[in-house]
Amino acid sequence: MTFDIAIIGGGPGGYTAADAAAKAGKSVVLFEERDLGGTCLNRGCIPTKALIHSAELYHAAKSSENLGVSAQGVAFDLDAMHARKKEVVEQLRAGIAKMMKADKVTVVEGHATITGKQQVSCSGEVYEATDVVIAAGSVPNLVPIPGIDGPGVYTSDDLLEENPPKLSSLAIIGGGVIGMEIASLYANLGIEVHVLEVADRILPPMDKEIAQRVTMLGKKNGMQIEAKVNITGIEGEPGKVTLGYLDKKGNEQQLTVDGVLAATGRKGKLDGLFAEGCDWEPEINRGIVADEAGATNQEHLWVIGDAKARNIQLAHVASAQARNVVAAICGKELPVDMNVVPSCVYVSPDVSSVGLTEAEAKEAGYEVKCGKAVTGSSGKCLIEDAPSGYAKIVTDATTGTILGAQLVFPRATDLIAELALAVQLKLTVKQLAQVIHPHPTFCEIIGDIANELAE
């Protein structure tokens, strides 16, 4: 069977590329060995947020007396939460399948292997394609800690599958996005949570002030958070797992919990991707090396998403790269600017950022002027009894150009798009201040900062 484009992986990058290619008039075959939607839909973004939403509702019902609402007998049912999560996932997965059918994309179930130049094998069949796009996604990356692959130690995939372990206490190794989102989920359910991070602070890639604020709010919600630790080993069994570590002062510590989550990042899913002896294998350096358009050092072989080396592992990055790679294959200009990528963390409250932090802007040589507002000054935040947070806009003091922004308040993950647009278009705070922000809203905070900076 021969196609214009073969795509390996049916996640956000893969199915977006298939849709774009089909709309460009290309014949497409899409390979997926598990479920359409990939990690994001089935074991990542969507199930995590569905469960977090349920947990936040439970937490709100338990702590709303100061709003004049008193609820009795409030309880959570983890099985029911996962059943509802499953409904959401299945509905979205069905939507992707329907889109592929409408696009006349040939979807093949099974593990796909690149066996030669412009050749992919799957389930005993050989497929030829002019161009091959790798969108294989990622798998959990377990760091070399004694016992990390033992009983009672889970990955995020395990905790998001059906029939998850019932835990009354959880230790999380890693205070990155995955670790902190699951920490927020369990803490909102009243479960004992310990977060252990090897770096100087949680959420290492983000602004230091965000890390400080999320740490404070996490501890207020009952989390135990320790940074600058060194995990020495894990032993035990489900229900009684002992984790040994050195704290920030170098003292030996032990922690016994029902289970441990290894949230130590993800790596490109490359095992078994190339057949033994395949002479079409590209350069690999912790992922497949490629340029901005996704082109590897092998002609007609492309890569996008988590399988790409030095890539930001986010679903919306993979989707954007999918649009670019199809344009490149079709000989067209790349439609998406990959230099401005918003980042989101779904904790309580939301965290989001885009562009440069204040420290990064100064390091880049800008004379920096920042504007900041706290949630206590927002009528909408006070109305909704939002946890203490803030919004911050970073600008070039000379020109007023918006360089970046960081938000820690409700709906921040929805509102960051306005600031991403401002950064991408190189708008000034004066231009942003010309936009009327409705009252009372969360987005009003952004308008208030812009007005202040524009004066």
Asked if 327 contacts 333 with a C-beta cutoff of 8 angstroms, the reply is yes
| 198-203: average pLDDT | 96
CA distance linking residue 14 with residue 215, whole number of Å: 36
168 half-sphere exposure, CB direction, 13 A CA radius: 3
Arithmetic mean of pLDDT, 325-346: 97
Specify the pTM: 0.94
The tokens describing 82, both together, are: 């996962």
51-91 confidence digits (pLDDT tens): 999 999 999 999 888 899 988 899 999 999 999 999 999 99
pLDDT in tens, 230-259: 999 999 999 999 999 999 999 999 999 999
The answer, yes or no, to whether residue 162 has pLDDT greater than 90, is: no
At residue 431 the predicted structure's pLDDT band, cuts being 50, 70 and 90, is very high
> Which pLDDT value is given to residue 362?
97
Does the pLDDT of residue 195 top 90, yes or no? yes
- Residue 112, pLDDT above cutoff 90: yes
Active site residue 439: yes
Three-class secondary structure assignment of 38-70? HHHHHHCHHHHHHHHHHHHHHHHHHCCHHHCCC
* Ramachandran angles phi, psi of 388, nearest 5°: -65, 130
Percent of the chain scoring above 70 in pLDDT = 100
Q: Is the pLDDT of residue 286 over 90?
A: no
Residue range 335-356: average pLDDT?
A: 96
Distance CA 311, CA 301 (A): 17
Over pLDDT 90: what percentage of the chain?
A: 93
pLDDT surpassing 90 at residue 411: yes
pLDDT higher than 90, residue 346: yes
**The pLDDT value given to residue 168:** 97
Task: Write down the pLDDT at residue 76.
Answer: 95
Q: Catalytic residue among 59, 300, 316, 439, which?
A: 439
